Amino acid sequence: MKTFKMISFQIEQDGVDVPLIDGITINQENKEKTWILELLVEQQYKQHFKNFLDTQEFFDVRVTITSMDNEPAPFTVKVLTIEEIGNRLSILLKGHIRAVRLKYAEQLLQSLLEKNLTKEELLHEFRKGMKERPSLRG
């Protein structure tokens, strides 16, 4: 198994960036190629994750691992457990990394090109977007 620090977490379908208090990502390195993700988050996200727990539906997320400089990795996961730890929540997810993905830089550039910016604006917004990593749809 390999364990990685989770830096950021986003639920793709609704573009929700879930601020992390802490988080880890574990590659189980098994034949099923499963990953375990554990997030420590504020209570306000309980109902959001409880809906996924109740339905046991899989959903897509993007997780930045180790450093904000890394491209967010796309996963398809489901909620295994939600545990209260004091006034916070530990959310345990299990799933798989999605192999087919459009690199973040390409997605960002595509979204900026659609805005018909000047060359200078395009360069400025691209640099800003690569640093801040805003949520992108699509």
Domains in the chain (CATH in brackets) are 2-97 (2.40.10), 102-138 (no CATH)
* Residues of the chain above pLDDT 70, percent: 93
Task: List Cβ neighbours of 55 (8 Å cut-off, separation of 6 or more).
Answer: none
Return the pLDDT at 66.
Answer: 92
Residue 101 has pLDDT above 60, yes or no: no
pTM: 0.72
Residue 90 has pLDDT above 80, yes or no: yes
Range list of H helices, 33-136: 46-55, 104-113, 119-132
Mean pLDDT (whole number) for 106-124: 89
Q: Would you say 79 and 53 are in contact if contact means Cβ atoms under 8 Å apart? A: yes
Segment 19-75, tens digit of pLDDT:
999 999 999 999 988 999 999 999 999 998 999 999 999 999 999 999 888 888 899
